[in-house]
Amino acid sequence: MFMRTDCRCCRGTNLTEVFDLGQQPLANAFLRSEQLELKYPLTLKECNDCGMVQLGHVVDASTMFTDYSFLTGSSQYMADHFAKLMNENAKRYVPEGGLVVEIGSNDGTALSSIQTRRLGIDPAANLSDIARKRGVPTITGFFTESLANEVTKTHGQAHLIVACNVLGHIDDLDNICRGVKTLLHPNGAFVVEVPHVNWLISKTEYDTIYHEHLSYFAVRPLATLFSRHGLRITQIETQEVHGGSLRLTIQHGMGHNSQAITWIEGELKPRDWSAFRQRCESSKQRLVDWLVTKDGDVVGYGAPAKATVRLNYCGIGTNLLPSVVDSTPNKQGHFIPGTHQPIYDPKVISDTNNILILAWNHEKEIRSKLINFTGQITSVSEFG
């Protein structure tokens, strides 16, 4: 672990700490037994120059990403979302025989939806195995400038490079941009999806802050980063996924489009971190008070990383929430880091009168699976 003292996007050193979640375990490091886990500081810093928000401490990437338990394919909604993204952009940018590369290709869900020449890159060996088994050629490794050079030599340049919810996981964004500069065909497009930090703040989504998410982006810092590498934003769309995300299309050249300029102007207003901190505290208090009234008669639904953060930040142990269910097979039989709830298959939801949806971004899909449940279903998002 090390402390990052400069801004990942503009490289300035004018950073201010704005939020502190204390010592937290790694949110996706599900435990095999109720062992004691390592905890690391979790703080947010804001760059006073370009408006970037990033973690104060960086945990070594190989500790977090080489055996990853999140499967894109576990949500049909997300699978459909990525299939649409791939198909629309392949149609627009990829000629006959052109190459599509996905950075952070996970279990190959998105790439499996297109028929063009394709290549996944993902550091998690367990996930790249799944992707290869379903016929998606995948390199197990981190996308870096040197890997981009190799891929360019062996496969040629890509007309489409996709990176969804990946940039936030990467410490050295300059290296990624140099890699994209090399690998991207002159007429190609680099399509990225990232949640917007201003929505995290306005919706009090503090549970999306964890060690794997090194950066919390907005258009202004990304525009600064891409400009430094001769890349320009040519399109911005907003998407509903992950509580509100930006989809940016980036191409070779200088000068961002007018949409980007409008976004940048809108982002110049200072963020109200003090109000955010107060909302986090009162949301925590309301959730804990509600759980106390249920006296342990609650099952948590979904064990995403954000459940780990929320349960740890709120100090919710097995006395208040005895267990959690999740459809991901390799999470079942494990325990939530820090608070140690056992994770079971949703098929075996025990006798309970209350389900608390922890994976709030999948609320609709989860509710549709619980139509026969006669008790009360509550989402953590109802607590603010």
Applying the rule CB under 6 A, the residues between 172 and 201 that interact with ligand TMP are none
The nearer residue to ligand TMP, 147 or 370, going by C-beta atoms, is 370
The nearer residue to ligand TMP, 124 or 148, going by C-beta atoms, is 124
**Range in contact with ligand TMP (rule: CB under 6 A) among 170-178, 213-221, 223-231, 302-310:** 302-310
Q: Does 333 bind ligand TMP (CB under 6 A)?
A: no
Q: Does 164 bind ligand TMP (CB under 6 A)?
A: no
d(CA 91, CA 80): 16
Instruction: Name the minimum Å distance from CB 325 to ligand TMP.
Output: 7
Q: Does 311 bind ligand TMP (CB under 6 A)?
A: no
d(CA 39, CA 41): 7
The nearer residue to ligand TMP, 79 or 160, going by C-beta atoms, is 79
Instruction: Name the minimum Å distance from CB 301 to ligand TMP.
Output: 7
Among 157, 245, 312, 328, binds ligand TMP (CB under 6 A): 328
d(CA 44, CA 42): 7
Instruction: Name the minimum Å distance from CB 303 to ligand TMP.
Output: 5
Among 194, 359, 379, 383, binds ligand TMP (CB under 6 A): 359
3-state secondary structure the chain: CEECCCCCCCCCCCEEEEEEEEEEECCCCCECCCCCCCEEEEEEEEECCCCCEEECEECCHHHHHCCCCCCHHHCHHHHHHHHHHHHHHHHHHCCCCCEEEEECCCCCCCHHHCCCEEEEEECCHHHHHHHHHCCCCEEECCCCHHHHHHHHHHHCCEEEEEEECCHHHCCCHHHHHHHHHHHEEEEEEEEEEEECHHHHHHCCCHHHCCCCCCEECCHHHHHHHHHCCCEEEEEEEEECHHHCEEEEEEEECCCCCHHHHHHHHHCCCCCCHHHHHHHHHHHHHHHHHHHHHHCCCCEEECCCHHHHHHHHHHCCCCCCCCEEECCCCCCCCCECCCCCCEEECHHHCCCCCEEEECCHHHHHHHHHHCCCCCCEEEEHHHHC
The nearer residue to ligand TMP, 74 or 128, going by C-beta atoms, is 74
**Range in contact with ligand TMP (rule: CB under 6 A) among 5-13, 41-49, 243-251, 325-333:** 325-333
- How many chain residues touch ligand TMP (CB under 6 A)? 18
* Virtual torsion, Cα 203, 208, 213, 219, nearest 10 deg: -20
Evaluate whether 59 touches 346 at the Cβ level (below 8 Å). Answer: no
Instruction: Name the minimum Å distance from CB 364 to ligand TMP.
Output: 9
Among 366, 379, 380, 383, binds ligand TMP (CB under 6 A): 366
Q: Does 326 bind ligand TMP (CB under 6 A)?
A: yes
Instruction: Name the minimum Å distance from CB 123 to ligand TMP.
Output: 17
**Range in contact with ligand TMP (rule: CB under 6 A) among 29-37, 224-232, 287-295, 299-307:** 299-307
The nearer residue to ligand TMP, 123 or 304, going by C-beta atoms, is 304
The nearer residue to ligand TMP, 139 or 343, going by C-beta atoms, is 343
Q: Does 365 bind ligand TMP (CB under 6 A)?
A: yes
Instruction: Name the minimum Å distance from CB 355 to ligand TMP.
Output: 11
Residue 345, classified by CB atoms within 10 Å of its CB into exposed (0-12), middle (13-18) or buried (19+), is middle
Among 108, 168, 302, 338, binds ligand TMP (CB under 6 A): 302
Applying the rule CB under 6 A, the residues between 59 and 118 that interact with ligand TMP are 70, 74-75
Residue nearest to ligand TMP (CB): 304
The two three-digit tokens of residue 315, written as one number: 């100090």
Q: Does 362 bind ligand TMP (CB under 6 A)?
A: yes
Using CB under 6 A, list all residues that contact ligand TMP: 70, 74-75, 302-304, 306, 326-328, 331, 346, 359, 361-362, 365-366, 369
